[in-house]
Amino acid sequence: MTREFLLGEGKAPSLASYIQSISEVLEAVAPSTKRDSLRIERAKANLKEVRRHARRLQERVTVLEEQVQVLEESKE
C-alpha cells in the first residue's frame, strides 16, 4: 500500500478531488479586470452546482448498489 501511495499507483482521483482542485484554482486566480472577476464568480457558481449534482448522483448510485445487492441476495 505504501508503495502504491508513494508512486501514485492505484485508484484514480475521485470526482470530489477534481472539484476541490478546480475550486482551489479559482480561489487562487487574481482577476485583473471586472470582466474577469465576473467570469470567475460565474465559474464558482457553476462549480457549486456541479458539486451539488455530483453529490446527488453519488447518493443515487449508493441506493442503486444497495438495491442490486438485495436482488442478488434474494436470487441466491
Rounded to whole angstroms, how far apart are CA atoms 59 and 41? Answer: 27
Domain residues for the domain of 37 are 14-75
In what helix (H) or strand (E) does residue 10 lie, and over which residues does it extend? none
| Number of domains, the chain | 1
User: Angle between the 34-75 and 15-28 helix axes, to the nearest 10 degrees?
Assistant: 170
User: What is the per-residue pLDDT for 2?
Assistant: 59
Within-domain flag for 4: no
Average pLDDT per run of 10 along the chain, which is 76 residues long? 59 89 96 96 97 96 96 88
pTM assigned to the model: 0.73
The pLDDT of residue 30: 95
